[in-house]
Amino acid sequence: MVDPEHSHEHPYPAADLAARYPFVTLETRRLPDDEMLDRARTFHQAMGARRSVRMFSSRPVPGELIEEAVLAASTAPSGAHKQPWTFVAVQDPELKSRIRREAEAEERSNYLENRMNNEWLEALAPLGTDHHKEFLEVAPWIVVLFEQRYELRPDGSRRKNYYVKESVGIAAGLFIAAIHDMGLATLTHTPTPMAFLRRLLGRPENERPFVMFPIGHPLPGLQVPDLRRKSLSEVFVEVDRRGDGSTVR
């Protein structure tokens, strides 16, 4: 009898595809449901302890840890497997100061010169963020994640990238998770507009700053906003076959 779990009308890869391109067998594992539930809860709890940090210790962080986080981030799925991202790491104090100066200049316009509307400022009020970005000098590392809007080949020609923002957003999420998982802290920081970062960091024309991450040990005893995260029912709907948004459970 054919095992329905293993029989497919359209096996992947089809024979002619496998003849043209290399394929390998993926190592898979099958865990019992209760073990998966344990792992899922442990992961949720670990991620639940992550917070955006705006007060860092100046304690040094080995560059190898940053490299490992970038490697983890770079495992992200990406449109047509283009991996359209560059992580640029800075620990030089002089360069960090320049980044701070320019970020504060942009944020001064945002916060103090009406570049943010009232609704935005109200949403930010409980976080207490302002134009001071001291953490950009205190944190031992700043990593700027650039999106590659297109691929720039060594001969100067361009190749299209696909779903760039989605891909880079997923890589950013994995990067944040990796940093948190190793016991470090970061802030997802977007001192908009961020064009100055391309100039300061000498990046090519196809790259655009996506987000920057000051990274380090959190300052012992630091405070964070007492935020509530949405409950499952606020972010999750299971739709039945009527497709009218009604919850099944």
CB within 8 Å of 107: residues ≥ 6 apart: 130, 131, 133, 191
CB within 8 Å of 157: residues ≥ 6 apart: none
Give min distance, CB of 229 to ligand FMN, in A: 7
Give min distance, CB of 105 to ligand FMN, in A: 14
Q: Does 189 bind ligand FMN (CB under 6 A)?
A: yes
Identity of the residue, 91 or 188, whose beta carbon is nearer to ligand FMN in the bound complex? 188
91: which 2 tokens? 């620990």
Neighbours of 215 (CB within 10 A): 25
Neighbours of 118 (CB within 10 A): 8
What is the maximum alpha-carbon separation in the chain? 73
Q: Does 129 bind ligand FMN (CB under 6 A)?
A: yes
Rounded Cα–Cα distance for residues 128 and 169 (Å)? 25
Binding mask 23-62 for ligand FMN (x = CB under 6 A): ----------------------------xx-x--------
Among positions 57, 74, 91, 190, the unique one binding ligand FMN when judged by CB under 6 A: 190
Identity of the residue, 116 or 152, whose beta carbon is nearer to ligand FMN in the bound complex? 116
> Cβ(202)–Cβ(105) under 8 Å?
no
* Interface segment toward ligand FMN; rule CB under 6 A; list 20-28, 157-165, 182-190, 235-243: 182-190
Identity of the residue, 36 or 121, whose beta carbon is nearer to ligand FMN in the bound complex? 121
Count of residues that bind ligand FMN according to CB under 6 A: 12
User: Pick from 91, 69, 59, 93: which is nearest to 220 by CA?
Assistant: 59
* Interface segment toward ligand FMN; rule CB under 6 A; list 24-32, 41-49, 70-78, 181-189: 181-189
Identity of the residue, 78 or 129, whose beta carbon is nearer to ligand FMN in the bound complex? 129
Among positions 127, 182, 237, 239, the unique one binding ligand FMN when judged by CB under 6 A: 127
How far is CA 69 from its chain centroid? Answer: 11
Q: How far is CA 229 from CA 55, 211, 235, in A?
A: 22, 22, 10
- Site residues (vs ligand FMN, CB under 6 A): 51-52, 54, 127, 129, 187-191, 224, 227
